[in-house]
Amino acid sequence: MERTGSQPKDSADRRTELAADRTVLAAERTYAAWVRTGFAALASGVGAKKVMGGVLPEWGVLATGSVLVLFSAFCFIAAIWRELKAGAPPPQPDVQRLPRFLLFAVNGFLVLVCLAALAGVWFGETTG
């Protein structure tokens, strides 16, 4: 047993704290994966218009670009969906969580970027 302050701290308590830390870090990795996927889809959707212009009919280019950009918006929304759907709070972790308001602000901005990119796909010029 380890002593912290005046109270003994047994290894079961420490394992519980470490499990809470792993839970927080796993949630952050999941968030990062959703955002990374959203950025890849956004870049692919915007690039689809330029790369596939002249290869596919215009409706195919618009459909492909639109689906990819909309999927990227979905990814940015799904990244914070787990924050909204939080279950029972884990035991107090040692690691600090990312501020929720920051996640909402960044992902809200990214969804607005997706809408602007969608407008660019639909109304931007294609130089093939």
DSSP state of 96: P
pLDDT at 108 (0 to 100):
93
Asked if residue 69 belongs to a domain, the reply is yes
Q: Which domain holds residue 68?
A: 7-123
**Residues 93-113 pLDDT 10s:** 777 777 888 889 999 999 999
Asked if residue 107 belongs to a domain, the reply is yes
**Residues 74-88 pLDDT 10s:** 999 998 887 777 655
Number of domains in the chain: 1
For the cut 60, the answer to whether the pLDDT of residue 127 exceeds it is: no
Asked if residue 26 belongs to a domain, the reply is yes
Asked if residue 128 belongs to a domain, the reply is no
> How far, in Å, CA of 79 to CA of 104, rounded?
9
Q: What is the mean pLDDT of the chain?
A: 83
Asked if residue 1 belongs to a domain, the reply is no
| Helical pair 100-123 and 58-84, crossing angle rounded to 10 deg | 170
